[in-house]
Structure 1
Amino acid sequence: MLAATVVVYAQPKGYNIGDAVGDFRLKNVDGRTISLADYRSQKGLIVVFTSNHCPFAKAYEDRVIGLDRKFAPQGYPVLAIMPNDPAAYEEDSFDKMKARAQEKDYGFAYVIDETQNIARAFGAIRTPQVYVLNQKDGQFFLEYIGTIDDNPQDSASVHRRYVDEAVGSLLTGKPVQSPITKPIGCAINWK
């Protein structure tokens, strides 16, 4: 008799929907240190784990810029975090991050997670991967985890804009309808 093999997909450890997110401090491309506490005057935050080298991150870059332009004035700015080991891809170095932010005229902070502790705390596994946080009484709570939308290759053929839907729901005081989607992108390069 043969034994059946069962394969179980393990969710990465990290924050779950509804969890309070702990404060952190990371170095921004302009040299300042950015902390989660810096955003307490906002309604929430769109945290995007991204990188310079990943083709998916590049494909989504203009959409991330668009999310910040649309939602920052409404209280949900973008915070981009580069979690990769820069030794794996020179394109992910801090100097290349600074150049990319300037070239694309990022209107949001682009910080490096040198220790990779923040990516681990969130449970991030891909770039890009998005976490939408809602702020209540100075504390940030996780409301959405996943991908930006349903078409990484072609922004003109998108049917579902998951991050847009999540932030739109939060702005109107409604629960997020699809709080978890599968992130699509490159695996994070761990040290």
Structure 2
Amino acid sequence: MKKHTVLPICAFLLTIALMSARYASDGYKVGDTIQDFKLKNVDGKTVSLADKKDVKGYIIAFTCNTCPVAKAYESRIIALNEQFAPKGYPVVAIQSNDAERSPGDSYNAMQQRAKSKSYAFPYLYDESQAVARAFGASNTPHMFVVKREGNEYKVAYIGAIDNNQRDAAAADKKYVETAVTELLAGKPVTTPSARAIGCGIKWKGV
């Protein structure tokens, strides 16, 4: 390959990396109060965090249909909801990929996925990507645990679900599970962040 061909390709890849880093670094940090949002669920209804008055917080999962890593963690997200929704920390899943770049993540595909996997939690379409940008989500999956304080929600954990992508049973650091368990016990979160590993969110205009 000629040198003049390599340079534009390198510049293009660098631009993608810089944009992903910017979105990841500009979002909420642990301790921040988040802004509520309203997004369309797969059932056609609009959902916001304020809808549930009896929750203690939320497990917010930025995920998608198509990423192999998101698929590997899908059953664990379902399990987190089963474990913690009855205790006041339900899951809210959000899909932010641009459907033009990733047709398998279209709203119709989301509806089919939620139905086939019997999701017992909202699966919301962040079509404008404004919510992902506000949170600083960069990967699928990318997890945020938020704790309710009065009528506000503060970030208590950001990052990965656990430390073993391939095998849930082999994970010896279950970051989200531990964080929520500690919050329910009235304790500080001992590991408030861990690097999220997964596919990069497919941003519009990239």
Counterpart among 79, 91, 97 of residue 66 in structure 1: 79
Gaps spanning 5+ residues in structure 1: where? 1-8
Of residues 69, 78, 88, the one that matches 1:56 is: 69
Partner of 2:101: 88
Aligned-pair distance for 1:15?
A: 0.7
Query: Which of 172, 175, 185 is the equivalent residue of 1:162?
Result: 175
Q: Quickly say closer, same or farther: Cα 1:130–1:136, change in 2 above 3 A.
A: same
Q: Deviations over 1:136-166 (max 9, x none)?
A: 1111000000000000111121111000000
Consecutive unaligned residues in structure 2, runs of 5 or more: 1-20
Q: What secondary structure, in the 3-state scheme, does the structure 1 residue paired with 2:188 have?
A: coil
> 1:8-27 alignment to 2 at 5 Å?
12-27=25-40
User: Shift in Å at residue 90 of structure 1?
Assistant: 1.2
- Give CA-to-partner distance per residue, 1:74-133, whole Å, 9 cap, x none: 000000000110111111000010000000000000000011000000000000000000
Distance 1:112 1:92 in 2: 9
Contact kept? 1:27, 1:111, Cα under 8 Å:
yes
Residue by residue, what CA displacement relative to the aligned partner does 1:18-55 show, whole Å, maximum 9, x if unpaired? Answer: 11110100000000000121134200000000000000
Between Structure 1 and Structure 2, the one with more helix by share is 2
Does residue 1:183 correspond to 2:174, yes or no? Answer: no
- Number of aligned residues: 183
Amino acid at match of 1:95: N
Partner of residue 128, structure 1: 141
Amino acid paired to 2:200: A
SS in 1 for 2:189: coil
2:97 alignment partner, SS class: coil
Runs in 1 of length 4+ with deviation above 2 angstroms?
none
1:154-189 Cα offsets, whole Å, 9 max, x none, are 112111100000000000000000001000100000
- 1:103 corresponds in structure 2 to 116
Aligned residues: percent identity?
49
The normalised TM-score by structure 2 is 0.87
**Secondary structure at the counterpart of residue 77 of structure 2:** helix
